Structure 1
Amino acid sequence: MPAHSLGRTMSFRTILTNLNETANNEAVIATAATLAREFEARVTGLYVVPAAPVYPAARYEPIPEMFETHREFFRRQSASVEAAFRAGFPEGSARHRLRIDKSASPLIADSVIESGRCYDLILLSKTDTKSELGVELDFVPRIAVAAGRPVMVVPFKKPMTSVPETVVIGWNGSREAARALFDSLPILQRAKTIHVIWVDPPAERSRSETSPGEGIADALNLHGIKVVVTPVAGSDKTAGEILLQKAADAGAGLLVIGAYGHSRLSEFILGGVTRTVLRDMKCSVLLSH
């Protein structure tokens, strides 16, 4: 029986869409519009104007011109963001709005984390690591780990134009993987083909009567979701590289993984799979911690 006929199909009803990675806003806004149509969701576009950074150890006092340059840059960017959002969400709908927040923090991620906890889904762009005009380098993983909400990341210039028919899920039995999988249920219930990939399942599990991934397959079946579980032996590739390859081979429109990472003093330590996927992703990625 198709998931649509169960009467219990889950949904993302509220979506926070960050628009600070301005070079990719067209793809992010188009993806938000696609999700809004499918899930009848309310979309909030959020552009954060961060506080100007102050360096107490500097040998000079910040001069007013520095703050004025900061304000002028974000004023111009705000106008560009507003134009892009209006183009993606024409007037006439009460289900979308644009917020421009002036933050007390110099980190854009802080505002997105605080706001995002009130939404079903946080939509972000892949970070352009070569640009100094967008977000912090650890922006996406920091939000995925700290917000407590599922985060969907859109690759550059590749918007999601329809809900994915094919989804690949990275599974290893961990808390993070479980959170990501069940957070993606609204999309899984609409997908036609779902691959659950377990890279190097523990040897003691493979020797047991229950095959790797059988438990999660049974759980999803109760939601009307049929999956193909594939244990994959390790190779010269990392787990992240294997998941990306499986997603590419399957023509997946979404890759679902747990977000692994933690803060240590001022440094953010990112797990290897998460780091590889966010660096080399070619399709949208849903992350949960």
Structure 2
Amino acid sequence: MKIEAFLPLATYPEPNTDAAASTAVEFAAGIGASLHALALAVDIPDVSNTLSRLLLDTPGMIRKAETASRKSGEHLLDIVKEKATSAAIDATTDTIAAPLVSLGDAAAMHARYFDLSLIAWEAGNASVRMMAEAVIFGSGRPTILLPAMPDIPLIEHVAVAWDGSRVAARAVADAKFFLERASRISVITVLDEKPLKQNDAGERLATRLRDCGLAAEAVRVTAEDCPIAETLQQTALQKGCSLLVMGGYGHSRMRDFVLGGATEGVISNPRLSVLLSH
């Protein structure tokens, strides 16, 4: 069955770039997925009073911001349509408007109707960061962060960050499509990041995957003084992996304060495509 991917596009206050939209289409084409792109326009309520209308023209400022948001969305969707036609993939587009504080929740709600979400990552873009966290922790579907890079490589070698936890197991289940099509799988266990309930957890998962006919190996590494996210990504890259599968640790209502170390590090600086599942 064909994968149906969802692409939420930020339009306010910092819109996605043209390159971000192109990257997502390229990734969808690479995995043979259809794509639904949704531009999230901002709806700003008019809470001005008489004085602010006279001094600042608050209603005019609101209209200007909403118009810019809609135009950014239309532009990004036009790019998606153009790139999808060139890549010969099925793509649909739509636009919704929501208050600024609800844009992320709106994206998460729409993401629940698709197999996975694609977030084209842009360093320093707070709108994309907000969207990513909302979709990862609120959609109930796997989310793939796509780093900015000239070309998206084919997914042939997949890395799995494994600690035997519930969220790691959920991520493995959500990544079944990619694992079954991978030529190699590296199950990465970081030994010194936190106490592991099972010292052989990585080998146990690798064995289970091999029993299913997949080419999996266990990789045991130590982080030493390196951040856990850097250790996982660097190990995956050294192994030649093009996708890292990992569980996303955090709480949707307080995600800014309680993101797990590995999740925070990867969301802040993805160095390869990362499938996060919560």
TM bucket normalised to smaller: 0.7 to 0.9
The question of whether the paired residues in 2 share the 8 Å contact of 1:165 and 1:252 is answered with: yes
Q: Distance in 2 between matches of 1:91 and 1:154?
A: 20
The question of whether the paired residues in 1 share the 8 Å contact of 2:117 and 2:142 is answered with: yes
Name whichever of 234-243 and 113-122 sits farther off: 234-243
- Structure 1 residue 33 corresponds to structure 2 residue 29: yes
- Structure 1 residue 65 corresponds to structure 2 residue 60: yes
Q: 1:54 to 1:231 in 2, by over 3 A?
A: farther
Match of residue 175 from structure 1: 166
Deviations 1:92-132 (A, max 9, x none): 97832111112255432111101011111111111432x46
Match of residue 241 from structure 1: 230
Q: 1:55 to 1:145 in 2, by over 3 A?
A: farther
The question of whether the paired residues in 1 share the 8 Å contact of 2:159 and 2:186 is answered with: yes
The percent identity for this pair of structures is: 26
Match of residue 256 from structure 1: 245
The aligned runs of 1:115-264 (5 Å cut-off) are 115-129=110-124, 131=125, 135=127, 137-162=129-154, 164-200=155-191, 202=195, 205-206=198-199, 211-264=200-253
The alignment covers a number of residue pairs equal to: 265
Q: TM-score w.r.t. structure 1 length?
A: 0.81
The question of whether the paired residues in 1 share the 8 Å contact of 2:24 and 2:119 is answered with: yes
Amino acid at match of 2:213: G
Query: Greater helix share, 1 or 2?
Result: 2
Amino acid at match of 2:202: G
- Structure 1 residue 76 corresponds to structure 2 residue 68: no
**Structure 1 unmatched ranges of 5 or more:** 1-10
- Structure 1 residue 50 corresponds to structure 2 residue 45: no
Amino acid at match of 1:198: T
| Matched residue SS, 2:35 | strand
Q: Distance in 2 between matches of 1:199 and 1:85?
A: 38
Q: 1:80 to 1:161 in 2, by over 3 A?
A: farther
Q: TM-score w.r.t. structure 2 length?
A: 0.84
Q: Distance in 1 between matches of 2:87 and 2:242?
A: 30
Q: Distance in 1 between matches of 2:108 and 2:5?
A: 13
Superposition RMSD in Å = 2.7
